[in-house]
Chains A and B, each alone.
Chain A
Amino acid sequence: MLGDDGAGESSHAAVRLRGITKRFGAVLANDDVDLDIPAGTVHGIVGENGAGKSTLASIVYGLHAPDGGSIEIAGRPAVLRSPGDAIALGVGMVHQHFMLIPTFTVLENVVLGIEGSFRLRSGEADNRARLKDLSLAHGLEIDPDALVDDLPVGLRQRVEILKALFRGTRILILDEPTGVLTPDETDRLFANLRAVCDAGGTVVLITHKLREVMAVCDSVSIMRHGRLVGSRKTSETTPGELAELMVGRKIGQAVRMSESSVRSPVLRVEGLTWRSPGGAPGLQNVSLELRAGEILGVAGVSGNGQSELLDVLSGLSGVQEGHIEFAGRRIDRASPATPAGMRALGLTHVPEDRHRRGLVLPFEARENAVLGRPECAGPGLWTSGTAMQAQAERLIARFDIRPPEPRLPATAFSGGNQQKIVLAREFESEPVVLLLGQPTRGVDIGTVEIVHSRVMALKERGTGILLVSTELDEILALADRIMVMSGGRVVGTVPAADATVRQLGLMMTGAGEGAGA
């Protein structure tokens, strides 16, 4: 067996998979996957939603046992019965959703479960010193005594990485790590990943963003329908080729923004302020105007008031100060709105969190097809299976929802198709105003294309769309104007044609200033 020195390791793969097959019920999540991840590199795994990349990662991390095939870690055959086995072999994983205890400090989170001694204090000095060494070695500076709750998202992710490294991780898997980061934080993350590699580690990056693959990965494997359809060195490929491999066909150019004539305002918000019960800032003096046939993009790092804005506009949260003018109605503290009331006025809402809000997950697709639209569920006070079925079939046809089975529960659909159910439902009534929250989060490239073209078509037909997205690319591709939020305030609004990623990134930190709101 080879030693632990770098020269020895580079001669074999950090992870070698042969014939990995994993089946969930009727779904073949991984189909005979062979994969070699060279040691000391950043290796990307890309693929559409449901292509099996997360399953593959879970198998390497010991969360799922494969139905067939073999795994070698650092040249030795490995049987992974649990994440504990994987961690013992030096495999670590940073999940999409952080697994941190917010009320613990950074150090407490990092040592959680491996404190070293029964009495915390006796091991603390050692642990502190080790954490410091690790931070320095990988350029991951952090205050070990800061409460995780107080840290911005980018730093929380850093804690997750440190947590993995602290456990002796030499193969670090990151699942969609950049979804919650600003462009600047993303750059810093990539620098950190490079540092991990330079220190002899191997990084596996699971993502659907090709730009990131090109920016940070040495090599990349592409998955489609559970199969590994190709591996490339990033220096020898293009985003176009990768996208084609992912989707299995040529995909069109990003939808071009069409110039729409300036029409009348359909939604006006004046001085909106909303404080959460916990006292967090929420919204501070937000004003905006949305015109018919216009897409107003709301950019910002997640958690800077965008969700609160959607909640207040959709009637889920009451107006505390300021007012909303919509469809001839003035909504303020004295005359509040309800979600049903706003819907009746012609405002629909694609919520940011489709699992908690947009869908009742155990409900059948046809029951979800009428969520928030009782008039489509049946006559009068009754629900009718045929009415719901018809509605579901309309939505399925309109958005090409797969599988086209109205009786399947929402949980049985992939993330992209779940999102299509929500989008189709909210688009179907041709609303005056559409609140569109994170329309393509966790959605595959093929679906993104469909979603964007449908959004543009809806806009063409005169709907005013408020688009909240943490994906700057998406906002830049779709919006006519871009409003940047930070700390619950509107930092500025700029025409999309003039906006640059750099300028917007600066504004998202609350620093920059565009045109007046």
Chain B
Amino acid sequence: MTNLPRWFDIGVLPLVNLALALLATAVVVALVGEDPLEVLAVLLQGAFAPSSLGYTLYYATNFIFTGLAAAIAFQARLFNIGAEGQALLGGLGVALACLSLETALPGLIVTLVAIAGAASFGAAWAAVPGWLQAYRGSHVVITTIMFNFLASGLMVWLLSGPIMRAGQGSPQTRLFGETVRLPALHDIAHTLGFEVARSPLNLSFVFALLASTAVWVLIWRTKFGYALRAIGHGEEAARYAGIPVRRVVVAVMAISGALAGCMALNEVLGAQHKLVLNFSAGYGFTGIAVALMGRNHPLGILAAGLLFGALFQGGAELNFEFETITHELTLVMQGLVILFSGALAYMFTPWLARLLLTQRPDHG
């Protein structure tokens, strides 16, 4: 009925949903016999203590990239479920660049090529479903899911054969050379004269912040962004306005895929320095929840990505501290947050709206 103010949709609603998720988690924690407040304290400590903050931001980087990927597609009303597969392909792009060029070219150039590889491989893997949707009417939800399976199968084949580390039995490539990796932030800080705790956090985090800014500019400050939002909010009107809807759809999917592919910068080029099987580990799917919670806005996605990073890192800490809280239980907690802030994001909207409107009878 009534349009809610924007600050409410962006600010209050996610917080309410988060609070409810924490409440539900508290019930679960109490049921296994732990004190919810104590658990919360450990969780926060585990996520934000100086020694672990780097890990939180490192995980957040993955969520920001996949969240942006989902969000830009959402803005054009495209449901890109394929960030998972696009991230895997991004990893392949990084690995191929590093493995084939690292002896031939200077490290910086190889690193740049690897970055381009991550984005372009991810983009290509998403552009195909985009093309099929735009020109052949195959729904992008179906095709991106299928492309996840294809990507997964492709990686198994490659990592257990053609690019498997020689003389090894595990599905991974050899380590890349020392020169072709994104510098860790603790190293950068050291160079600048600070000391911060060691963590896998690397330059990709900065890239993620830049990508968020770029996505914001693209969506709200360019004609391309205008076109993609017009398609998202009124495809017929976009067609009427002479916007080449099909081409824009393919391009949006490609950009979405490129952002998902950039997740590999963090994992493969920044942290692990080798391509391992399934490094995407569900980040692609969680990115959809991040985008939902962040209301498809880069700023919201930064916040939501940080939250999920904290849950990841803090959740891991809980495993150490409490015997009763197993890894599975932390997954339940993350699941509850996704459920309340993603799937049930608008469940409480009508009640909250009524509350809000009765509080302000003379608005206008």
Contacts and interface: CB of A to CB of B under 8 A. Distances in A.
Interface string B207-224: 000000000000011111
Nearest to B242: A340
A100 B240 CA distance: 28
A383 B241 contact: no
A367 B226 contact: yes
A268 B233 CA distance: 35
A361 B3 CA distance: 13
Contacts of A338: 242, 244
Given A26-B364, A381-B224, A383-B225, A360 B242 contact: no
A349 B241 CA distance: 9
Contacts of A371: 230, 237, 240-241
Nearest to A349: B240
Contacts of B220: 383
Contacts of A383: 220-223, 225-226
A339 B237 CA distance: 11
Interface string A343-372: 100000101010011111111000100111
A418 to B, nearest CB: 12
Contacts of B226: 367, 370, 374, 377, 383
A25 B3 CA distance: 9
B191 interface: no
A177 B271 CA distance: 68
A421 to B, nearest CB: 12
A349 B237 CA distance: 12
B240 A351 contact: yes
A339 B223 contact: no
A22 to B, nearest CB: 12
Contacts of A363: 229-230, 233-234
Given A371-B230, A378-B223, A382-B222, A358 B242 contact: no
Interface string B98-126: 00000000000000000000000000000
B236 interface: yes
B145 interface: no
Interface string B221-261: 11111100110011011111111100000000000000000
- A contact face: mostly helix, strand, loop, or mixed: loop
Contact of B230 (A341, A351, A358, A360): A360
Contacts of A339: 239-242
B240 A374 contact: no
Interface string A324-349: 00000000000000111101000001
B358 interface: no
Interface string A304-337: 0000000000111000000000000000000000
Contacts of A343: 242
Interface string B145-173: 00000000000000000000000000000
Contacts of B224: 381
A399 to B, nearest CB: 19
* Residue in B3, B222, B223, B242 with the greatest tally of chain A CB atoms within 10 Å: B242
B359 interface: no
Given A25-B364, A371-B230, A360 B223 contact: no
Interface in B331-364: 363-364
B2 to A, nearest CB: 6
B242 A362 contact: no
Contacts of A374: 223, 226
Interface residues of A, number: 32
Contacts of A314: 240
A356 B225 CA distance: 20
A185 B243 CA distance: 40
Contact of B2 (A25, A351, A367): A25
Given A367-B226, A378-B223, A362 B233 contact: yes
Nearest to B237: A360
* Residue in A367, A370, A383, A411 with the greatest tally of chain B CB atoms within 10 Å: A383
Contact of A372 (B2, B240, B363): B240
A361 to B, nearest CB: 6
A316 B234 contact: no
A338 B246 CA distance: 13
A382 B223 contact: yes
A360 B2 CA distance: 19
* Residue in B237, B244, B363, B364 with the greatest tally of chain A CB atoms within 10 Å: B237
A20 B188 CA distance: 70
A361 B230 CA distance: 9
Interface string A383-412: 100000000000000000000000000010
Nearest to B2: A25
A357 B229 CA distance: 14
A434 to B, nearest CB: 14
B239 A316 contact: yes
Contacts of A357: 234, 236-237, 239-240
* Residue in B2, B223, B230 with the greatest tally of chain A CB atoms within 10 Å: B223
A27 B252 CA distance: 39
A358 B237 contact: yes
A338 B226 CA distance: 19
A75 B147 CA distance: 67
A378 B225 CA distance: 13
A371 B229 CA distance: 12
A16 B66 CA distance: 60
B364 A359 contact: no
A381 to B, nearest CB: 6
A159 B10 CA distance: 46
B233 A381 contact: no
* Residue in B221, B233, B234 with the greatest tally of chain A CB atoms within 10 Å: B234
A381 B224 CA distance: 7
A360 B3 CA distance: 17
Nearest to A375: B223
Nearest to B1: A24
A359 B234 contact: yes
Contacts of B236: 353, 356-357
Nearest to B234: A360
Contact of A359 (B223, B237, B243): B237
B281 to A, nearest CB: 36
A95 B3 CA distance: 25
B185 to A, nearest CB: 33
Contacts of A359: 234, 237
Contacts of B243: 340
Contacts of B244: 338, 340
Nearest to B226: A383
A139 to B, nearest CB: 40
Nearest to A339: B242
Given A360-B237, A363-B234, 10 more contacts: A26-B363, A26-B364, A338-B242, A340-B243, A356-B234, A357-B234, A357-B237, A360-B233, A363-B233, A371-B230
19 contacts: A316-B239, A338-B242, A340-B243, A340-B244, A349-B240, A357-B237, A357-B239, A357-B240, A358-B237, A359-B237, A360-B229, A360-B233, A361-B233, A370-B226, A377-B223, A377-B226, A381-B224, A383-B226, A411-B3
Closest 3 CB pairs of A and B: A340-B242, A372-B241, A26-B364
